Structure 1
């Protein structure tokens, strides 16, 4: 069974997740949403899930990308491309190269 999709060191993975969390927080704050409001918009049962993501502990489930993009008023493809840089950097690099654009 395929258990660990990252070949990066654990510290690198955690730093990428924290960067991803900062990205999500910036988008949320730019929309003027509280964590609780965003949780309601994306269908999260608990607003603490938003806090966990914003601090790099977890990731948005892929089946919820569209709801998040809609709630944050961003286009889904660039949003997912940016998330992939944080969540799956190896695949992102293969698909898009090593640039930092979103």
Structure 2
């Protein structure tokens, strides 16, 4: 079964997840949402899920990217590209290598 191997060691993956969490938190705060408010907008039952993501302990399911981009007021393509950079850096590098993104 595909486990999304990134050929990164665990510390690299954890670092990228923390970076993703910081980015998500900055976006949430910039639009003036609490974790509880964001949870409601993205359709998660527990606001603690938002907290866990912001701490780098998990990842947003791709089928929820539209809701997240809308809630955080980020263009969908930019949101997906940013998540790809953090969650799947191998694919990100293949798609965007040399674009300075």
TM-score in terms of structure 2 length? 0.95
Count of matched residue pairs:
101
2:11 counterpart residue number: 11
2:79 counterpart residue number: 79
The structural deviation recorded for 1:35 is 0.2
TM-score in terms of structure 1 length? 0.94
User: 1:1-102 residue pairs with structure 2 within 5 A?
Assistant: 1-97=1-97, 101=101
Are residues 7 and 28 of structure 1, via their aligned partners in 2, closer, same or farther at CA, if it must alter by over 3 Å?
Answer: same
Query: Cα RMSD between the aligned structures?
Result: 1.3
Mark the runs of 5 or more structure 1 residues left unpaired by the alignment: none
CA distance in 2, matches of 1:75, 1:100: 19
| Cα shift readout 1:38-83 (whole Å, capped 9, x = no counterpart) | 0000001100000000000000000000000001111000111011
The structural deviation recorded for 1:3 is 2.5
Are residues 70 and 4 of structure 1, via their aligned partners in 2, closer, same or farther at CA, if it must alter by over 3 Å?
Answer: closer
| Structure 1: 4+ residue segments shifted above 4 A | none
